[in-house]
Amino acid sequence: MLRSPWFWCTPIVAALSTAAQWIQYPSNGFATMTHYTMPANFIAACGCTTESENYPTAAMSQYAFGSSTSYGPGCGRCFNLTLLNTFLSDPPFYPTETKSLIIKVTDLCPFGGAGWCSATPSKPNPAGAYINFDLVYPSSAIPDNFFPSNASLYGYTDFGVWNTSYQTVSCTEWAGYKNAAALGSVTSLGSGACCPSNPTDNSNDTCPSFSEQNGIPPDTHTNSANRRSITCLPLLSFIAGFLMAL
């Protein structure tokens, strides 16, 4: 019986993945939300098609994203984020309206900086959250008044950081799901990109951690015409290098 090379690679990948401790988050919980601007036609960490930027997207904090560089298991995942309250403002702001947004993760929010993306499995961020979603905003995909505010009370409209609740959702709920050009990864990055349409945790539709294993991702190119064969070579050379370093 002919097995795909992945059949033989997977146990090695699984053994290595227990080595680094990423954040294993539940399917529902609380997270913080910040926002950042992304230049037009920018190819972010996952290598998702630039057309994805026409719909709501976000970067996910490093230890939940699952990689310190390039793609990780967080790539392509979709979440329903609901704004709850602000907490850096005095007093905290509780909007009267409930606003939710379904985002797709296309980028990595690196550990460091102001600390919102710096939660580790043993230490939450300054708000006590283990996940931060850094929303691409302003965005043509999101109304300019998405974030509630009260300028007369606070003297400003942008609170910067929000407490939110999140739910993992199927990407079929994401606004870009019906546009094939907004799904998948760019061809120019080859196997350096990984952006599944709808990751489900199966190895055939979910990205490995680039930083941990430099594993070869499932082929998520939009144009699969020049599909290349998958081999274990980079992984084996990684292991060889790792053993030599010991």
Q: Which positions lie near ligand NAG, rule CB under 6 A?
A: 30, 80, 82, 84-85, 87, 100, 102, 127-128, 150, 152-153, 163, 167, 169, 173, 202, 204-205
What is the smallest separation between the CB atom of 185 and ligand NAG, expressed in angstroms? 13
For the chain, report the end-to-end CA distance as a whole number of angstroms.
36
Helix (H) or strand (E) holding 153: helix 151-154
What is the smallest separation between the CB atom of 28 and ligand NAG, expressed in angstroms? 10
In the complex with ligand NAG, which residue's Cβ is closer, 127 or 189? 127
In the complex with ligand NAG, which residue's Cβ is closer, 153 or 233? 153
**What is the residue whose two structure tokens read 């230890």?**
63
In the complex with ligand NAG, which residue's Cβ is closer, 51 or 205? 205
In the complex with ligand NAG, which residue's Cβ is closer, 70 or 132? 132
Could you tell me if 185 and 48 are in contact, meaning their C-beta atoms sit under 8 angstroms apart?
A: yes
What is the smallest separation between the CB atom of 162 and ligand NAG, expressed in angstroms? 9
Nearest of 126, 197, 140, 135 to residue 166 by alpha carbon: 135
DSSP letters along 178-206, please? G-GGGSSB-STTGGG----SS--S-TTTS
% helix / strand / coil in the chain, to the nearest 5? 25, 20, 55
What is the smallest separation between the CB atom of 244 and ligand NAG, expressed in angstroms? 35
